[in-house]
Amino acid sequence: MAPASQTPADTPSASSASCTPGTSGTSGTSGTLDTSSVSSTPSASSASSTPSAPRASGASESSNELPEEIRYALDIGVDFARLPKHVAVIMDGNGRWAKAKGLPRTAGHKAGVDSLREIITTAVHMGINVLSCYAFSTENWTRPQEEVQMLMHLFAKTLIHELPLFEQENVRLRFLGDIEALPQKTYEVFQKGLKATEKNTGMVLCLAVNYGSRAEIARAAKLIARGVAEETYTLDEVDPDLVSNNLYTAGLPDPELLIRTSGELRLSNFLLFQLAYAEFYVTDTYWPDFSRHEFVDAIYSFQKRDRRFGGVES
Q: Which residues bind ligand FPP (CB under 6 A)?
A: 91-96, 109, 112-113, 116, 135-136, 140, 155, 158-159, 207, 209, 262
Smallest distance from ligand FPP to CB 299, Å? 20
**Phi, psi at residue 205, to the nearest 5°?**
-105, 115
Are the beta carbons of 122 and 69 closer than 8 angstroms? Answer: yes
**182 or 275: CB nearest ligand FPP:** 182
Catalytic residues: 92, 140
Largest CA distance in the chain: 60
Three-state SS across 200-234? CCCCEEEEEEEECHHHHHHHHHHHHHHHHHCCCCC
Q: How far is the CB of 6 from ligand FPP (least distance, A)?
A: 16
Residue nearest to ligand FPP (CB): 95
Edge-to-edge strand order for the sheet containing 172-176?
Answer: 172-176, 204-211, 130-137, 86-90, 257-260, 279-282
Q: How many CB atoms lie within 10 A of CB 163?
A: 17
What gap in Å lies between CA 89 and CA 109, rounded to an integer? 15
In the complex, minimum distance from the CB of residue 286 to ligand FPP, in angstroms, rounded to a whole number: 7
CA 261 vs. chain centroid, Å, equals 14
- Residue pair 287/93 in contact (Cβ under 8 Å)? The answer is yes
Nearer to ligand FPP (CB atom), residue 193 or residue 255: 193
Q: Residue 58 Cβ, how far from ligand FPP at the closest point, in Å?
A: 24
Q: Beta strand pairing status for 86-90 and 130-137?
A: parallel
CB of 122 to ligand FPP, least distance (A): 15
Buried b (16+ CB within 10 A) or exposed e, 48-79: beeeeebbbbeeeeeeeebbebbbbbbeeebe
